Amino acid sequence: MSAENGEYHANAVSALADRAYERAGNEYTRAGWQTLAAPRDDLNGFEPDEKGWVGRGLAALAVAAVAYRVAGRPDRGTHRGVEGVAVAQDLTNTLTEPVQQACLAEFVADFRVVGGLNDAQEAYESAAEAYTKLGDGIEPQYWGTTPLFEAAAAPIKQVARSNANGEIAVKWEDLHGSDPEQPGAFLAHRARYKKQRFPMVVEQVVDSGYLAAPRGTTAYNNDQYQCPNCESSDVNWTANSVLCLRCSTPMEE
C-alpha cells in the first residue's frame, strides 16, 4: 500500500484540512516509512524497480518536512530533511539506472530545501549535471512519467499551489525542457527549475503558515458544496477528503 492511497496519507491530508500541521507532518512521515518499507504489495523497498515506486515514500517525507516547518517546528523539518537525504542516497544501491540515480540526486536537493539545510543550490547543480550526462538512448518522456519521477515532482506541486489560490502552479512544461530529443537537457531542466523556484515557495508557505492539500479530482462551481471558510463552491476530492479547492477547508454540503 503506497503513501498515495494509504491510511496514513489520508490522515495527513485530513490534518492539513484541520490546520494541524505538526500532526500532518507525523502522518506524512508514517506514510513515508510505510511506503519505503513496502512500495507495493509485491515489492519491498530494497528491490530493483524500473518504475521506482519507492519514490512515493521519499515524496511523503519531503512534504512532512514542510508541514513541520509550517507548524513552527523547524527542528523536526530539519530531521526529516536529513533523513530524506540519507535515504535518497542509500537508494542508489537499489535503483541503479543512471536516470534513476539522477532523479535521486534531485530528491537530495529537494530534501536540502524542505529541511532548511545548506548546499541545496549545489545539490541541484549536481543533479542537473547527472541528467546532462545521460546518453541519447533513454526516453525522457517515459522516465518522466514513472512513479519515481512523478513523486519527485509532487512536493513542489503541492507546496506551490498553496499560494496560487489552489490552482496548478507547476506544470509539466515548467519542469521539463522544450526538446525531448535532447534527453539530458530535457530532464536537467527539472533540477534547474527547482533550484530557482522551490526554496522561494517553501519560504512562502512557512511565512504564511498555510500548506495546501494535494490536488486530486476537482470541480468548479459545484452547487452541492460550499466552503465555510471562503464560501467557494470549487471542490477538491483528495485522499478520502472533500475539501475546498481554494483553501483546503472541509466542504459543507
Region of 63 please: left (phi>0), alpha (psi -120 to 50) or beta. Answer: alpha
* Tally of CA atoms within 13 A in the half-sphere of 150 that contains its CB: 11
- Do 52 and 97 fall into the same domain? yes
- The cell numbers describing 189, all together, are 531542466
pLDDT band at residue 1, thresholds of 50, 70 and 90?
very low
pLDDT band at residue 2, thresholds of 50, 70 and 90?
very low
- Do 49 and 174 fall into the same domain? yes
pTM of the prediction? 0.96
- Do 252 and 129 fall into the same domain? no
**3-state secondary structure (DSSP) of residue 164:** coil
- Do 160 and 200 fall into the same domain? yes
Identity (one letter) of the amino acid at 210?
A: Y
**3-state secondary structure (DSSP) of residue 47:** coil
- The cell numbers describing 224, all together, are 452541492
- Do 248 and 191 fall into the same domain? no
C-alpha span between 17 and 83 (Å, rounded): 26
Q: Are 54 and 39 in contact (CB under 8 A)?
A: yes
C-alpha span between 67 and 19 (Å, rounded): 10
Dihedral sign, CA of 89, 94, 97, 99?
Answer: negative
- Do 199 and 238 fall into the same domain? no
Give the chain's mean pLDDT: 96
**3-state secondary structure (DSSP) of residue 131:** helix
Encode pLDDT of 120-178 as tens digits.
999 999 999 999 999 888 999 999 999 999 999 999 999 999 999 999 999 999 999 98
Number of domains within the chain: 2
Q: Are 249 and 224 in contact (CB under 8 A)?
A: no
Bridge partners, 250 (sequence order): 243
In a domain, 118, yes or no: yes
State which residues form the domain around 75. Answer: 7-213
In a domain, 197, yes or no: yes
- Do 235 and 175 fall into the same domain? no
In a domain, 128, yes or no: yes
- Do 98 and 116 fall into the same domain? yes
In a domain, 1, yes or no: no
- Do 54 and 178 fall into the same domain? yes
In a domain, 2, yes or no: no
- Do 193 and 208 fall into the same domain? yes
pLDDT band at residue 3, thresholds of 50, 70 and 90?
very low
In a domain, 185, yes or no: yes
